[in-house]
Amino acid sequence: MLLAIIILANQLYAIYQMSAVNRDLSEMNVKSATKVIEMKRLADLLEEDAKKYFGSLDSIYDDQIGDFRQDFLENLARLGETAKSEREQADMSKLAEALDAYWKIYNQSKKHLNSQVDDLPPDLILAINHLNSQVDIMLDTVQVVMRARVAAAAEVGRQAEQVSQIAGVLSLLLGVIVGTVIVRSINDPLRRLVQGTRAIAKGQFWHRLPAQGRDEFAELARDFNVMTERLGELDKMKKDFVSHVSHDLKAPLASIRQIMHLLLQGIPGSLNEQQKSLIQLSYNSAERLAAMVGNLLDVSRMEAGTMEYRIAPHDVVPLIKGVTDEFEVQAQQKHIRFRLECDQPSVFVKCDRDRIVQVIGNLYENALKFSPSDSDIVTRIGQGKGGEILVSVWDSGPGVPHGHKEKVFQKFHQVKDGKKVAGQGVGLGLAICKTIIEAHRGQIWVEDNPTGGSVFLFVLHPAKQEEVLTCGQSA
């Protein structure tokens, strides 16, 4: 590569020298072209002043014609100093003859002129046209010679440039090949390892790395595959355990809840206030445990991909009102008020009714846990940026710290602020909400309430009018 740099520097110096010669040639021919253009202008002035003279017989125009002819001859003489080719010399001779012919005919026409005329004599018009044609021919000749000289000079530069390009390309190509082989032998296994670790971090324990060869990377890949296989087995055992235990707990929990419900109703016999209080506490604990077991079962079905959704048009306004009624007793116990704000009497969305009820219920449950007494939980239904239906739940709780706004939707994640809140759960509610909303091709997120607290928002796609009518007719 050092040799290539030296050769390239030498060739660049040669190209620079050729460029200087090329510039000199260009300047020389540009001067010739400038003189021809000036003669073209003088030829136009000769024609213009001839018309003025014959139309007015004013001697000032006759004097100007003589001056223009003299300037024309001077430019023609200067052109002869730079015009070296035979073609240029021949065209210059013809141009001089055309100027002499014009001057001769002009003087003859002037002698026979008795009075003012509007048009030039025919012979003088022909002479002027012939002079203009010869000037145009001379300009074309200068341009052709200019291009020929520049091309000849540039050819030498192109040859030097080709040599430098070939030498530089070959050297760089050899360096790139060697460097690529070395870098790829190290970079490819590292890239595969990075991709594998990211896949494992996402829970894709089925991911494997190619382990051919006997080098250190192949040995590392084999150990990585053994590790991922073991992690996959442990993850499967965990999921099976959670699913089986949750399913086995569901039946006895239902029996316990039913028995406590019968006791609270006094069907087996009357209870005193202390007994009712203790059974009510047990019943509430059983309800929370049943909700946790239900969430675990939902998570297991979601991870297994067996969660079913029945998408149809539903009016979200009565749906939210129904969930509000279910939580009304708990809200009254904490002196919390539910409010629904919506500009329209009905808002139809495409959704699975039971799953959206589950989402709103989880959001209300969180709001009730963390909202202070004598506060409001406000649900607002509006329109999003892209025409989607935006549902938001506003509370006055402690809020979600900025670093936890995305993590709260992860499984088993809880925001802990020094102490655990009673009845806080295991951190599955918001994860389930996120999975359900994303299955509806929507989004869910959390923001800060300007007056204190949190705002949980999610968007759903609106139902088309024809879908709403079809749904109403079928109902």
What is the β-pairing status of strands 348-351 and 389-394? unpaired
Quickly count: other Cβ atoms within 10 Å of residue 218's Cβ.
15
**Architecture label for domain 309-474:** 2-Layer Sandwich (3.30)
Phi, psi angles (nearest 5°) of residue 178? -65, -45
Q: How far apart are CA 250 and CA 234, in angstroms?
A: 24
pLDDT the model gives residue 92: 83
pLDDT the model gives residue 139: 82
pTM for the whole structure? 0.47
**Yes or no: is domain 2-174 CATH 3.40.640.10?**
no
pLDDT the model gives residue 85: 76
Which secondary-structure segment (H or E) carries 457? strand 454-460
Q: Which of 100, 98, 101, 120 is nearest to 109 (CA)?
A: 120
Query: Can you tell me the mean pLDDT for 381-389?
Result: 87
Query: Can you tell me the mean pLDDT for 233-240?
Result: 68
> Judging by beta carbons within 10 Å of its beta carbon (0-12, 13-18, 19+), is residue 42 exposed, middle or buried?
buried
Query: Can you tell me the mean pLDDT for 47-57?
Result: 82
Percentage of residues in the chain having pLDDT higher than 90:
13
Considering only residues 227 and 163, tell me which one the structure prediction assigns the higher pLDDT.
227
Tokens 């073991």 locate to 230
Class in CATH terms, 228-303 = mainly alpha
Q: Which of 423, 422, 416 is nearest to 292 (CA)?
A: 423
For the ranges 86-90, 331-335, 412-416, the maximum mean pLDDT occurs at 331-335
Q: Cα torsion for 362, 363, 369, 372, to the nearest 10°?
A: -160
pLDDT the model gives residue 456: 94
pLDDT at 130 exceeding the cut of 80: yes
- DSSP alpha helices (H): ranges in 202-272? 216-265
pLDDT the model gives residue 81: 74
Question: How does the average pLDDT of the chain come out, rounded?
Answer: 79
Residue boundaries of the structural domains of the chain: 2-174, 228-303, 309-474
Percentage of residues in the chain having pLDDT higher than 70:
80
> How does pLDDT run across 254-283, given as a tens digit for each residue?
777 677 777 777 777 777 778 777 777 776
pLDDT the model gives residue 317: 93
Both tokens assigned to 5: 């740099």
pLDDT the model gives residue 356: 92
